[in-house]
Structure 1
Amino acid sequence: MKRAPLGREETFMTFLTEAAGHVISSDMVAVFHSTDDALLASARVTASLLEGTAKSGLHPRAKQRLLESLNAGVTKMLEGRKDMVNAHGQMIVIHRQSNLAPVGFGCWGAPNAEAFSLPTSASSIESDAPEA
C-alpha cells in the first residue's frame, strides 16, 4: 500500500489493489460471522447449564460463580466485537479515501462513516502515532 499527495494541504490517497480489497472484505465478514457464532454458542451453554442444573442440588453460590464466569467471557467477546465494528468503520473510511472508492466489495457500509474519519495530513498522522 502506498500513499500519494492529493493537494496543497498534504493530504494523501491510499492506493490499494482490488485483490487486497476483496480479501480484506471477505476476512472481515468471516470475523463477524465467527464472533456471532461464538456468542450464540455461549448463549446455548448458559441455557444448557441453567436447564441441566435446575434440580441438581448444585449450591446457588457455585452456580452463581459459574454464571458470572460465563457472563465475563461473553462480555469480553462483545467488547472484542465492538472493537471490530470500530475497525470496520475505519476500513470503510480508508476505502472511501483510496483509489478504489468506487469499487464495492460486498461488505457492509457504515451507517455513519464520518464518525470514523481519519486524519488526512501527514502531520496529523504522525502526531496521532503511539510512542515507541
Structure 2
Amino acid sequence: GLQQVEVWGSGKPLREFMYVDDLADACFFLMENYSDKGFVNVGTGEEVTIRELAETIAGVTGFEGEIIFNAEKPDGTPRKLMDSTKLHDLGWKHKIALKEGLKKAYQFYLKEKEQTKTPAAFS
C-alpha cells in the first residue's frame, strides 16, 4: 500500500456531504409533502473539515500511511454548507451519518472489485 496520500490545501475548508440513499429519500419526501413553487435545498446541515474527511476515510479504509496536506495547493471555497432549514422544518432529516455512509460506499467498492476480478486464465 501507499506510504502517504497528498490532499490539496490546508485541510481547513468546511464541506457538507450526504449519502446518496438520503438524497433519494429526501426527493421522495418532497414529492409527497411539498407543493410550493419555491426551491428547497437538500442537505444534512452538518459540515466537516477536509482534514476530518481525510482522516475518516483513512480510518474506514484501514489506511495507516501519512496524510500530507499540501498547503501550496488551493483550498478552494472556505465553506460550502446548504441552508436546509426549509427541508428540516418540513420534518425530513438525513439518516446516514458521514462515517456510516463512507463505510457503506467502501464495502460496495470492495464487493464490486472482488466480483469484477479477471480469472487468472484470462489475464
| TM-score class normalised by the smaller sequence | under 0.3
Q: Which has the larger radius of gyration?
A: 1
Q: More relative contact order in 1 or in 2 (CA 8 Å, sep 6+)? A: 2
Q: Which structure carries more strand by proportion? A: 2
